[in-house]
Amino acid sequence: MIQIATGTQMRQADKAAIQGRGIPGMTLMETAGRALAAEVEKSAEKSFGKEVLILCGAGNNGGDGYVAARLLAGGGIPVKVFALSDPEKLSGDAAESWRRFEGAGGRADLIRDAKDLKRLENGLALADIVVDALLGTGITRPVEGLMKEGIQMVNLWRRDPFSHRRKLVISADIPSGICADDGSVMGCAVEADRTVTFQRTKVGMMVEPGRFHAGLVRVADIGIPEEICRDAASDFFQLEMADAAEMLPKRPRTMNKGDAGKLLLIAGSPGMAGAAVLSARAALRAGAGLVKVCGALEVVRVVQVAVPEATCLILGEDVHTNCETVVREAELFDAVACGPGLGRSQETESLVKHILARVSRPVVLDADGINVIGQRPEILKKASCPLVLTPHPGEMGRLIGKSAKEVNEERIGIAKSFSSEYNVTLILKGADSLIASPEGRMYINGTGNPGMAAAGSGDVLTGIVGAFLAGGKTPQQAACLGAYIHGLAGDEQEKAMGEYGMVASDIARGVAQAIRLVLAGSEASGRHRPV
């Protein structure tokens, strides 16, 4: 599991290394600039020309840029430096970096006003590689003025459809204009092809929209002691295949269906029986030993044909009887999945309330199981069962009274605070699904692709998470493993058929293959997996 950090956490680590361990700040800056220069050299040698333009701003990010410029020029690579902040006004290590650059014969073209931007435009016209060392992780307000115009100019240069030259933008630490804490674009941001980030990957380049600005990310060790980084950045993690393998122990030969886990699935309604089919199929493909679907007669008829491996329980028309039946049945199973395709009826609301109040087994709640709670999330605080919620931004917004757009603008903060306040494990779905635990830990899942943006994809995730809960995983493990496997199944299907035309049943079909890939990777690496 890769530990990642917010910009705030890395600045704390930097300070602790300098003040607590006596590591000179200039040593860290020189190492960072050397890593940046090495990336430029590698790119220039392999597939680009050697016209390098470096944009330097104020602060340590600009200092890193001046170090890289000095080293590249000393190595014989033609470098043109443009300063969008007066280097004479730099302080601390950044000022020393500038002095060393100037002492080595370096010169920077200072952009003072809008008229000077023409010189930058001319410089870009001759460049093969642009290095962005403008703003770094300390940005706290929207980019404006000359800095904004400079960034926009770089983005236009990179996207120029009439140019036949290959172009590359490399950002230092994080693309300028991206908030390192949450990935938001602060007015405008550099669109990088590569980012050389220092010591730790930053949260802001792992979540949308920041991840779409960072390009290929390389982490450079600049010499901050590992224990300092670990202490400063303790609550953000990126999921890896090795983590999934660790949570998927090899099954003993003596295992039976009861050992594999029994899942009660409450899903489907007239006109939406497909949701029950997708969830049941995904749960079985994820390894559940037994899946029982509770639903109306119309739903059961469809499920018994489409998923013959599932057993079924027909719910009648009396709401009270159905609630009692489901609660009683739930205690005979290892876990419960509730919500896909249920509809937002009064019966659904009653079922959900009874499950939350009276069932002791772990429950994954999705779709209409979440929607019927509406803006009354306080119901979750009284739940008698461990809970996993899997909302998309619209469902999350309904829980907290915000729009989907507002949720996406505050994904990390909303997921973290909601999980903690309501004591639930939360999977906030999206291009970068976030898994938040009540203890404050946040996991970022990197699997998945745009082809998965199809109706029913969430129903598949519910079935997978339900299967892992039934198999004995904790809510946090089931959520992390479920999100990873779900995305990996989609990735494998994307390889086979592309992003267009992928449907949810394709993802469900790929679940077993995804698990097989995880286990095969574990065995190939020689990792020990307990039986």
Q: What is the CATH number of the domain that holds 303?
A: 3.40.1190.20
User: Do 360 and 496 belong together in one domain?
Assistant: yes
Looking at the chain, the number of H-run helices and the number of E-run strands are: 23, 18
Name the band, by pLDDT with cuts 50, 70 and 90, for residue 48. low
pLDDT of residue 50: 74
Residue with tokens 């995804």: 514
pLDDT in tens, 480-516: 999 999 999 999 999 999 999 899 999 999 999 999 9
Residue 244 belongs to some domain of the structure:
no
**pTM, rounded to two decimals:** 0.88
Q: Of 185, 205, 226, at which residue does a domain stop?
A: 226
User: Do 221 and 304 belong together in one domain?
Assistant: no
Residue 510 belongs to some domain of the structure:
yes
Most confident region among 23-32, 153-162, 201-210 by mean pLDDT: 23-32
User: Do 198 and 323 belong together in one domain?
Assistant: no
Q: What is the CATH number of the domain that holds 59?
A: 3.40.50.10260
Residue 135 belongs to some domain of the structure:
yes
Residue 514 belongs to some domain of the structure:
yes
Residue 516 belongs to some domain of the structure:
yes
User: Do 134 and 278 belong together in one domain?
Assistant: no
Q: How many domains does the chain have?
A: 2
- Measured in Å, how far apart are the chain's first and last C-alpha atoms? 21
Residue 200 belongs to some domain of the structure:
yes
User: Do 333 and 459 belong together in one domain?
Assistant: yes
| pLDDT exceeds 60 at position 529 | no
| pLDDT exceeds 60 at position 435 | yes
| Residue 104 to residue 108: CA distance in whole angstroms | 12
User: Do 179 and 283 belong together in one domain?
Assistant: no
- Expressed as residue numbers, the domain containing 98 is 17-226
* CA–CA distances in Å: residue 234 to residues 115, 214, 225, 228, 335: 46, 23, 15, 10, 30
User: Do 217 and 316 belong together in one domain?
Assistant: no
pLDDT in tens, 133-183: 999 898 889 999 999 999 999 999 998 877 767 789 999 999 999 999 989
| Residue 218 to residue 36: CA distance in whole angstroms | 10
User: Do 169 and 300 belong together in one domain?
Assistant: no
Q: Of 226, 250, 275, at which residue does a domain stop?
A: 226
User: Do 200 and 302 belong together in one domain?
Assistant: no
User: Do 167 and 39 belong together in one domain?
Assistant: yes
Residue 338 belongs to some domain of the structure:
yes
List of E strands, 39-177: 52-56, 79-83, 108-110, 129-133, 168-172
pLDDT of residue 47: 60
User: Do 285 and 380 belong together in one domain?
Assistant: yes
* Mean pLDDT, residues 180-205 taken together: 94
Residue 231 belongs to some domain of the structure:
no
User: Do 343 and 294 belong together in one domain?
Assistant: yes
